[in-house]
């Protein structure tokens, strides 16, 4: 009996590993009702053939951040996502539900209140504005009582000026920090198509500027009134409890943090 159980677990292990490798993260830009919003969704296949989906979206310019969890049918693209104010859904009533169709790089449908009333329509796509002509010289600070960040870079005609990228963050509760300095050589990477992160997930990178050093990648995306800077797989530049929170750069070169995520 034990041998049968062991063989069953051994058979499931490759399937779990395959599911981990097949996970993918997609970023989409669009509208939630009358507001511009950016949506980040991670999908992972389940044993029943559907995909488990988690993520979040950020409303602009209010900077309201909402978290999502649900499922997607890969054949028809039918997607249902519960919405909450924190990434922890267990034991908490959802603040709404997104129901729609997500396929061929587009996610569209309606957002419903907890009681089932339709609140607003939404439409998102993986198409972000091109940054080929983007130019900016940025040096800004943002923070609150728990977290502080400084960001600097120079981009001319869509190309990063060598040794101009600097990004530092610090977490007040632990004193741990992250530091990307001018001495760290980041090179410009192609930003079209899907990019593989260090843990095997695929991340969409269309309409972006992407700078890499080893596994670490810093990505700039045009959201209209803001350019968003994100860092992925950059633990080697951080203390054990530190991280890089996404930063929004406005047209005047000032920095804003998104709503703090619970950790």
Summarised one tens digit per residue, pLDDT across range 86-145 is 888 888 889 999 999 999 999 999 999 999 999 999 999 999 999 999 999 999 999 988
pLDDT digits 0-9 by tens, 225-243? 999 999 999 999 999 889 9
In which band, very low, low, confident or very high, does the pLDDT at 174 lie, cut at 50, 70 and 90? confident
pLDDT tier at 75 (50, 70, 90 boundaries)? confident
**Residue 10 pLDDT more than 70?**
no
Mean of the per-residue pLDDT values of the chain: 85
pLDDT in tens, 49-72: 899 999 999 999 898 999 999 999
Residues 173-181 have a mean pLDDT of 92
- Residue 7 pLDDT > 50, yes or no? no
Are residues 160 and 72 located together in one domain of the fold? no
For 185-223, the pLDDT digits (tens) are 899 987 654 444 444 444 455 689 999 999 999 999 999
Domain boundary among 125, 157, 180: 125
Alpha-carbon span 229 to 250, nearest angstrom: 11
Q: Are 104 and 145 part of one and the same domain?
A: no
Host domain of residue 28? 22-125
pLDDT, average across residues 169-173: 92
Q: What pLDDT shows up at residue 1?
A: 47
Distance CA 72, CA 81 (A): 8
Q: Is pLDDT above 60 for 5?
A: no
Q: Considering 106, 125, 144, which residue would you say is the last residue of a domain?
A: 125
Residue 113 sits in a domain whose CATH number is 2.40.128
Among candidates 179, 153, 149, 140, which has minimal Cα distance to 245? 149
Residues 100 and 141 in one domain: no
Q: Is the domain of 62 the same as that of 149?
A: no
What pLDDT shows up at residue 113?
95
- 225 with 147, same domain: the answer is yes
Is there a domain that residue 13 lies in?
A: no
Per-residue pLDDT at 14 exceeds 60: no
Contact 19, 44 (CB under 8 A): yes
Distances (CA, A) of 229 to 17, 72, 236, 245: 30, 28, 18, 9
Among 30-44, 78-92, 147-161, the least confident range: 78-92
In this structure, are 143 and 246 located in the same domain?
yes
Write out the two tokens for 261: 């995520």
CB atoms within 10 A of CB 239: 16
Number of domains the chain contains: 2
| pLDDT above 90: residue 157 | yes
Q: What DSSP string describes 216-249? A: EEEEEEE-SSEEEEEEES-GGGB-TT-----EEE
Mean pLDDT of 23-48: 94
CB 154 within 8 A of CB 137: yes
Other beta carbons less than 10 A from residue 34's beta carbon:
7
Residue 244, φ and ψ in degrees, nearest 5: -105, 110
């Amino acid at each position: 009996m034990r041998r049968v159980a062991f063989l069953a677990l051994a058979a499931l292990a490759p399937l779990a590993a395959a599911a981990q490798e097949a996970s993918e993260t997609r970023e989409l830009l669009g509208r939630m009702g009358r507001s511009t919003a950016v949506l980040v969704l991670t999908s992972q296949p389940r044993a029943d053939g559907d995909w488990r989906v988690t993520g979040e979206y950020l409303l602009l310019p209010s900077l309201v951040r909402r978290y999502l969890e649900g499922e997607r049918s890969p054949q028809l693209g039918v997607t249902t996502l519960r919405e909450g104010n924190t990434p922890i859904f267990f034991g908490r009533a959802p603040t709404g539900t997104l129901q729609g169709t997500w396929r061929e790089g587009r996610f569209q449908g309606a957002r419903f209140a907890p009681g089932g009333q339709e609140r607003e329509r939404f439409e998102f796509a993986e198409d972000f504005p091109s940054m080929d002509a983007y130019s900016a010289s940025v040096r800004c600070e943002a923070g609150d009582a728990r977290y502080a960040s400084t960001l600097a870079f120079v981009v001319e005609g869509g190309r990063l000026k060598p040794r101009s990228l600097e990004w530092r963050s610090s977490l007040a509760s632990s004193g741990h920090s992250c530091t990307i300095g001018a001495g760290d050589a980041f090179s410009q990477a192609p930003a079209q198509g899907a990019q593989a992160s260090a843990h095997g997930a695929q991340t969409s990178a269309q309409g972006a500027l992407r700078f890499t050093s080893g596994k670490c990648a810093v990505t700039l995306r045009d959201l209209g009134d803001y350019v968003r800077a994100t860092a992925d797989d950059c633990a080697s530049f951080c203390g054990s409890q530190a991280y890089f929170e996404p930063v929004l750069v406005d047209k005047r070169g000032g920095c804003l943090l998104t709503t703090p995520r619970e950790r």
